[in-house]
Amino acid sequence: MSAAEQPVQQDLVDTPDSWEVVAERPAFEGKVWDIVSDDVVMPDGRAATRDYMKHPGAVAVIALDEQDRVLLVRQYRHPVRHRLWELPAGLLDIPGENPLHAAQRELYEEAHHKAGDWRVLVDLYPTSGGSDEAIRIYLARDLAESEGERFQAEGEELDLQVARFPLTEVVSRALAGDLHNGALVAGALALSAVLAANGLDALRPAEAPWPARPF
């Protein structure tokens, strides 16, 4: 058995770490995110270049109604040339914004809904090999339609569609390869696991700390 295959005698938890960076330079500066190149010192002492996307982070919402249906939005995603079913979601592009407030805003803007009960469902780095993007997925319940006028959409959101689907169908469709959005798949599977195990009381409160994006 190689050293890499030896049993790990420590907690099953991701831990902060930072290897030495001897050089950092921008490779591309975009409207929302940048690409940077870091020269990182490897365990053998040599430096290797690692390119990655610097991302502001994002939030997403699994909005679950009293019939165990999930409120989803469908929109065009140009990089993958698909219309995808997704969770209401958005960027953390306001420095220092409370992610819960951002999630509540996105639920209103994309689905014209509000929720009376909020929990943290799961946190993830969706593409940790190529981006520092962090996503917090919330569970929202006690849903109601928002008052007042609808948010004035633009861009891809002008063609946004909103619908509700049973959580069980979302999970089965994801496992069948019919749904591909990362936050949707991760959130639906996480919620299904929670409901089958310890129940919603096991979830963290909505204001739980988030070291990846402190607020």
Cβ-contact 202, 120 below 8 angstroms: no
- 147 counts as catalytic: no
Q: How far apart are CA 61 and CA 10, in angstroms?
A: 32
Cβ-contact 35, 27 below 8 angstroms: yes
Determine which one of 97, 109, 157, 169 is catalytic.
Answer: 157
Nearest to 191 by CA among 157, 163, 168, 158: 168
Collapsed DSSP state (helix, strand, coil) of residue 210:
coil
Q: How far apart are CA 36 and CA 18, in angstroms?
A: 16
Cβ-contact 165, 62 below 8 angstroms: no
Active site residue ranges? 157
